[in-house]
Structure 1
Amino acid sequence: MTQTNSQQHQYRQIWAAGMWDNNIVLKQSLALCPLLAVTSSATNGLGLGLATTVVMIAANALTSMAKGVISKAVRIPANIIIIASLVTLIDALLNAWLHPLHKVLGLFIPLIVTNCAILGRVESYASKSPLLPSLLDGLAMGLGFTWVLTMLGGIREVMGSGTLFANASLLLGQHFAFLETTVIPEYRGLLLVILPPGGFLILGAVLAVKQKVEQLLTERRAIAAAPVTGG
């Protein structure tokens, strides 16, 4: 029973770290190049985020399973080969089945290989951990990256063109047509928000909000933990 509770606590920590506490973008400030370039719309952010998530899960799983047979001397090159092979496969699948999305994301799919977040998690966690926690770590980190990309893309898209998840059916398939929304009808748009400088501004605002939320949560925990003194 104690071991089960310990595992559940570990899994909750892994999930919280990936989604918020140690988020790739909001905490580690990694993968900013594709983030700023791709998040001109929520659809693009969602597509790149999901592709990155698949790579992170598979890379963590393969690295965890192979940790006993890969020497420490060649572990980093071996991890890079694993990640590069997975990215090549994802790139080919996107080109074959989601070609419009592949055209939009362009070079940023192959550049997932150079994403420091993936190599960092593979090297610092998956290469030292069992399979199940490694899978959960890849999923949490990937989904944490995905929701930030999608949120930033959504904010920039609404402010820049008045739409949300535009062309989702063309890029991700007809099953995603329900996501397409016109938030502000007959909106002329704000070009600055769509361009990379707008990405910096929106990201800075999001980071400021995160810092404020964490400050408020810390203050509430301190108040809750403070001893109650009688009058």
Structure 2
Amino acid sequence: MDTRNILIIDNYWGRRLNPLYNILYSKQDSKLHYLNNEALLKDRLFLKKFNVAILNILKREYVNNLSEKSIPSIVMVGSKERHLVSLLKNAQGIIKKDSPFELLASVEAVEKGGFYLSNELKKDFFQQLHLHEQSLVSEGLKDLPALLTKMEMKVVEELISDKTNQQIADTLYLSKRTVEYYIASSMQKLQVNSRVGLAVKITRASLIGSASLYGREFQENRQFI
């Protein structure tokens, strides 16, 4: 099995390491690197070595920079930071701090091509994104079905059903590469930079977030994995 290289971005720089990450060592294929120089976040060659980045620092510029360089990011959010979760639309994972279970689960979900959102943070996340996207809805988000093809809609529906790219491919009898193409095409058309952003925009436009299909169950009970 290939080694999973994980970049840790934490306020513990230059001090003792956060014991929270010890759970990742239970995975023998995991190798952790603790960032000690903020400038390296702009170094494409340095970042290229990592499969995922874990941030214990809630900074939008860090998440956006990693997204631009195609490095999946998982962000830990504290109780006093819940009002800032809307800054993290480009993250592949949003979890509560000091939760080893969520940390490990989110790494495994992202590694499979999915994304993960803590149940405890889900309500804050959707409420805040709704406020930020109300203006977009009034400018034509309800016309999104005209932007996506029938197959793109099917793929996105499966994506919001918590399926990985391979699971979507198996369900729709497509190749994994074709599924990746449809997801990338949908993201480009809807002007989002991540699967999370795609799922939220589609759901908030009421295209597939109706009560009969996903509705309350999706927003209150389900994990993105």
Q: Which bin holds the TM-score, normalised by the shorter protein? A: under 0.3
> Which has a greater percent of strand?
2
Q: Give the number of the structure whose residues are more often helix, by fraction.
A: 1
TM norm structure 2:
0.26
Higher Cα Rg, which structure: 1
Q: Which has the higher contact order (CA 8 A, sep 6+)?
A: 1
